[in-house]
């Protein structure tokens, strides 16, 4: 099996290209307010390129997305040691995580792509054989829906997310500062200097993390050195909305995940090139719906544990519309 690409298209001019290598989104074409088509996700040139080291452009991260402190966790009294690929910490499943795997193609249709992957017991240091499914659907109401399911034969942990970098002005636009963002969350999980959650929940009121009323991403970004923080979602449903005044494109995000990581491409520095562009710092933003970072080591956080009797099922929806507000 080799890296391949597959296309979803709807009746309104939206086209999504997905690869089975990393189960990732390579491009997402959306018409703007003037009818011009914009590719609104950062990405690499071809499916084969996703085998190289890159900043997780558009891929599915796993077994456990985000960070696990010191690359260690304990389950039923046994300690498991994982690769430390982010300083002392484990990030996005390690250097050979789900983003580097060839997923099995289960179904290909005009508006649906279904993939699966079997992670064997001990892979990347994780216990238990894990079977994961990822299904992409594109509807004629301009919604790209991602459904995840994880099944195991032995208690383990799992936290899947899609790591697309969005820029509603086009993947080749200079930055995301002018995007107007709303996040429907009252709290974040604060982090230490190594970006590991402290175990606390912090109110966003009066801080640069408060997006409950729409504001530009650039307004407070320097005050926090760039966003790389998890928002606590109170209930399933709409969790974020982002709008570009330049293109008129609005993206609304819905999920039933307990958290959502806002990341603003802080570590992009022009060394990674794709689709004819050298991607620079803050040229894309991610809204990664997921469990809270380091949840397995923080008893008060929602648990990422999955068992044979309790598989995981989560969804994320990215809906696109044109907002002609002045």
Q: What CATH number is associated with residue 37?
A: 2.70.98.10
Give the contacts of 145 (CB within 8 A, at least 6 positions apart): 136, 137, 138, 139, 315, 316, 317, 318
92 part of the active site:
no
What pairs with residue 324 in β-bridges? none
Q: Judge contact between 290 and 66, C-beta under 8 A.
A: yes
163 flagged as catalytic: yes
Q: CA 241, 311, 289: angle at the middle one, nearest 5?
A: 15
List phi, psi (to 5°) of 120: -75, 155
Cα angle value 251/223/184 (rounded, 5°): 35
Cβ–Cβ < 8 Å for 30, 37: yes
pLDDT at 325 over 90: no
Number of domains observed in the structure of the chain? 1
The answer to whether the beta carbons of residues 62 and 74 sit under 8 Å apart is: no
The pLDDT score that the predictor gives to residue 116 is 98
Q: Catalytic one among 89, 163, 179, 229? A: 163
Q: What is the pLDDT of residues 258-289, one digit of tens each?
A: 999 999 999 999 999 999 999 999 999 999 99
Express each pLDDT in 144-192 by its tens digit: 999 999 999 999 999 999 999 999 999 999 999 999 999 999 999 999 9
Render pLDDT for 109-128 as a digit per residue (tens, 0 to 9).
989 999 999 999 999 999 99
Percent pLDDT > 70 in the chain is: 99
Q: What is the domain extent for residue 161?
A: 5-322
- Residue 286 phi, psi (nearest 5): -115, 140
Cα gap 220→112, rounded to integer Å: 38
Cβ within 8 Å of residue 227, ≥6 positions away: 209, 217, 221, 262, 263, 264, 266, 285
Q: What is the tens place of the pLDDT at every residue in 51-106?
A: 999 999 999 999 999 999 999 999 999 999 999 999 999 999 999 999 999 999 99
Catalytic residue among 151, 169, 288, 317: 288
**Binning pLDDT at 50, 70 and 90, where does residue 1 land?**
low
Nearest-CA neighbor of 183 among 234, 148, 246?
A: 234
């Amino acid at each position: 099996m080799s890296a391949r690409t597959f296309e979803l298209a709807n009746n309104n001019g939206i086209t999504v290209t997905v690869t089975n290598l990393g189960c990732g989104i390579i491009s997402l074409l959306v018409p703007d307010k003037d009818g011009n088509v914009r590719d609104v996700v950062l990405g690499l040139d071809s499916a084969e390129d996703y085998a190289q080291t890159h900043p997780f452009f558009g891929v599915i991260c796993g077994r456990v997305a985000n960070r696990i402190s010191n690359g260690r966790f304990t389950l039923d009294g046994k300690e498991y040691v994982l690769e430390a690929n982010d300083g002392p910490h484990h990030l996005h499943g390690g250097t050979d995580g789900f983003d580097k795997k060839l997923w099995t193609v289960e179904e290909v249709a005009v508006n649906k792509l279904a993939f699966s992957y079997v992670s064997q017991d001990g892979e990347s240091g994780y216990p238990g054989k894990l079977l994961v499914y990822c299904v992409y659907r594109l509807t004629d109401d301009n919604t790209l829906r991602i459904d995840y399911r994880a099944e195991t034969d032995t208690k383990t942990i799992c936290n899947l997310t899609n790591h697309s970098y969005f820029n509603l002005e086009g993947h080749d636009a200079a930055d995301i500062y002018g995007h107007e963002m709303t996040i429907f969350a009252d709290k974040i999980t604060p982090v230490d200097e190594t970006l590991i959650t402290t175990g606390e929940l912090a109110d966003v009121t009066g801080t640069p993390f408060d997006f409950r009323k729409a504001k530009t991403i650039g307004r407070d970004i320097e005050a926090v050195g760039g966003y790389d923080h998890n928002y606590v979602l109170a209930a399933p449903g709409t969790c974020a909305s982002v709008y570009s005044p330049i293109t008129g494109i609005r993206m609304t995000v819905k999920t039933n995940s307990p958290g959502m990581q806002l990341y603003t491409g802080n570590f992009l520095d022009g060394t990674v090139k794709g689709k004819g562009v050298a991607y620079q710092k803050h040229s894309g933003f991610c809204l990664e719906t997921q469990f809270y970072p380091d949840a397995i080591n923080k008893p008060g956080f929602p648990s990422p544990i999955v068992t044979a009797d309790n598989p995981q099922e989560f969804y994320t929806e990215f809906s696109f519309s044109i907002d002609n507000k002045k």
